[in-house]
Structure 1
Amino acid sequence: MSREIVAGVDGSPESLAAADWAAREALHRGLPLRLVHAWRWEPLDIPFLPDRQGQERTAQDVLRDAEAALARRHPEVRLTAEVLADTPVSALTSTEARAELLVIGSRGHGAVAGFLLGSYGQQIIAAATRPVVAVRSRDGGSGSRAEGRGGVIVVGQLGGPEDSAPALRFAFETAAARGASVRAVRAWSLPPLFAYSPGSLALADEAGGLVPYEEKALREALAPWRERFPQVPVAEHVEIGSAGQVLLSSSGDARLLVVGRRARRGAVGPRIGSVAHAALHLAPCPVAVVPHDG
């Protein structure tokens, strides 16, 4: 089955910026782009609201305007568009069978406030089984640093090699498609007095201490992806601190920040996790959230 990039549009500047980012990514990857607008008839007994036909025309206009704008800006993109009769969350996640990644808009209010993701965006990221990229209006516009080839893709590496493999794969694939480099970041913290077992302390001693142990863990996680993508330059960064803080401090010049998210459902439903939450709200660039088992 052929793959595609899927972008959700709703007529807002944020969703149009996301669609523009998705079009450039489609060109980098040589994939088609599918625009999706979710609309479902909700009859309301309020006389000044449009009727069903009026709402449907509005939905079609939103999609047609977005499609026309992208066709003008990116004539090389293989572009399709459709209105899906569903809620935004169900509409976007229903496209995952063919989606390489999903792209959504996110409201941003400057470098300090960062992302105000909105309930739909959080639900889509939490429910998706494919990578989701959240783009603010300033991240996707013409002339932004998201445009063009090259640059740095920052990716967080946590736990063992299997834990972060999906995020690393996505980062290396994106870097290879763009001619970019990868900066792999691993955060660590001093263990509580009784947190480390004798076995883990012995491994740290064998590596020469806690810092070399963390550096070795990062090298081992990166090894298969270096081998698979030898053309991608890689920089390794290990720093003490919380994962969210270290990732954010390492992504000031990034074209894209890639973080993992455990795909397990919690007691109150799917969650996006604290690291992804921090990245989505505070990162100065688009953020890709990649689900993984664990």
Structure 2
Amino acid sequence: MTRPVAVGLDGSPASFAAADWGAREALRRDLPLRLVHAWEWQPYSHLPAVGTNAPRLWSERVPREAAAELRNRYPDLEIAADHITGPPPEVLCDVARESELLAVGSAGLGRLAGFFLGSVAMSTVIHTERPIVLVRAGTTTAGEHQLATDGRPLSAMPYRPVVLGLDLSRPCGDVIRFAFETADLRAAPLRVVHGWNPPAFFAYGIGVDPGLQADMAAQESDALRTVLQRWQEKYPGVDVIKQSVVGQPAHHLVDAGTDAGLVVIGRRADLGWAGPSRLGHIAHAVLHHCPAPVAVVPHG
């Protein structure tokens, strides 16, 4: 069974940016595209003037009109448009389960405020079992590409780097594989960012050998190289840039995202956790402040 690239639409500009991003990703992966709008009786922030049947009629038009526009842009792409009745988070999680990945939109609030991750997107990120990509409003084809000095995309290096945030304490193969596959499909470099911090006593200068921090940095770099070695052998065409850096991982990933085509992070699925599903602080910060599209890959 061929899994499509799926996109959740809510009629917002961010969701249409996600649909366009999903169409390009489907073409790169040689997969069909599935556009889905979930309908239930509730207020819609992007709803036009209402009448007796206006809300539902508008809801039915959302995926149909998006599909028509994308067919004009990408005539070689197979596109399906679905209108499904049910709570949006549940519908999108069900759709994601049958898809290669799911893309949804995220609205921008400005450079300082970051991005608004709505309740539907947040709930879907936390509960979905498949990779989900958050796409910012205003994301365009040109934003994926390296630019020349005159602002035009370069032909020699078509795609910006894919950035992978890697936790060496529990490096997950699913997350690493997704990042390598994505970079390979785009013929883009892969920048792997590993953020680490020395022990707390470094902050107070207690009994610290001047060469100890340098040794620790070398050990972290060696560990990163060891984890990535077999993946580089599996994907020899991917140019890997390794960054083992001191400091908060989220800060480094947000900074790396300013020049990235996609940032990839993992989310622990908490399969044995009896309480509610959670989103880690690093994923939370990256999702709210990274300017590039962010892929969240769940893992056990």
Residue identity in the other structure for 2:251: Q
Report the equivalent of 1:292.
299
Residues 196-218 of structure 1: CA deviation (Å, up to 9, x unaligned): xxxxxxxxx9xx82111111221
Is the contact between residue 153 and residue 182 of structure 1 (CA under 8 Å) also seen in structure 2?
yes
Take 1:142 and 1:256, find their aligned partners in 2: how far apart are those partners?
Answer: 12
What secondary structure is seen at the aligned counterpart in 1 of 2:237? coil
Identical-residue share of aligned pairs (%): 40
**12 and 156 in structure 1: CA distance in 2 versus 1, 3 angstrom threshold:** same
The 1-side partners of 2:3 and 2:176 are apart by 20
Query: Does the aligned pair in 1 maintain the 2:162–2:189 contact within 8 Å?
Result: yes
- Answer yes or no: is 1:274 the counterpart of 2:275: no
Alignment of 1:79-98 (within 5 A): 79-98=79-98
* 1:115-140 CA distance string (max 9 Å, x none): 1111111110000111110011122x
Aligned to 1:116: 116
Compute the displacement of 1:264 (Å): 0.8
Equivalent position of 1:240 in the other structure: 246
2 CA distance for matches of 1:146 and 1:75?
Answer: 22
**SS of structure 1 residue aligned to 2:86:** coil
> Counterpart in 2 of 1:20?
20
SS in 1 for 2:142: coil
How does the TM-score come out when normalised to structure 2?
Answer: 0.85
Rounded to whole Å, the distance in 2 between the matches of 1:287 and 1:270 is 19
Residue segments in structure 2 that go unaligned for 5+ positions in a row: 44-48, 147-152, 203-211
What per-residue deviation string (whole Å, max 9, x for no partner) do you get for residues 18-59 of structure 1? 00000001111111110000002469xxxx9544x4433221
TM-score normalised to structure 1 length:
0.86
Q: Which amino acid aligns with 1:24?
A: R
Q: Is the 8 A contact 1:2 1:98 kept in 2?
A: no
Question: Do the aligned residues in 2 keep the contact of 1:21 with 1:146 (CA within 8 Å)?
Answer: no
Equivalent residue of 1:270, what SS? coil
Could you say which residue in structure 1 is the equivalent of 2:100?
A: 100
Mean Cα displacement is larger for which, 213-222 or 258-267?
Answer: 258-267
Give, in whole Å, the separation in 2 of the partners of 1:72 and 1:142: 15
SS of residue paired to 2:172? helix
Tell me how far 1:223 sits from its aligned partner.
Answer: 1.5
1:231 counterpart = 2:237: yes
**Cα deviation, residue 86, structure 1:** 1.0
* Paired amino acid for 2:144: R
Summarize the Cα distance change of 1:170–1:42 in structure 2 as closer, same or farther, 3 Å threshold.
Answer: same
Residue 171 of structure 2: aligned partner: 163
Cα deviation 1:179-231 (Å, max 9, x = unaligned): 1110001010012359xxxxxxxxxx9xx821111112211221221111111
Q: Is the CA contact (8 Å cut-off) linking 2:144 and 2:261 kept in structure 1?
A: yes
SS in 1 for 2:11: coil
User: Would you say how many aligned residue pairs link Structure 1 and Structure 2?
Assistant: 275
- Paired residues for 1:9-88 under 5 Å: 9-41=9-41, 50-51=51-52, 53-88=53-88
Q: Which residue of 2 aligns with 1:130?
A: 130
Give the aligned partner of residue 143 of structure 2: 144
Q: Is the 8 A contact 1:39 1:84 kept in 2?
A: yes
Amino acid at match of 1:170: F
1:181 is matched with 189
Once superposed, what is the RMSD of the aligned Cα atoms?
2.4
Structure 1 contact 101–133 (Cα < 8 Å) conserved: yes
State the distance in 2 between where 1:255 and 1:110 align. Answer: 19
Greater alpha carbon shift after TM alignment, 104-113 vs 273-282:
104-113
Structure 2 residue identity aligned to 1:172: F
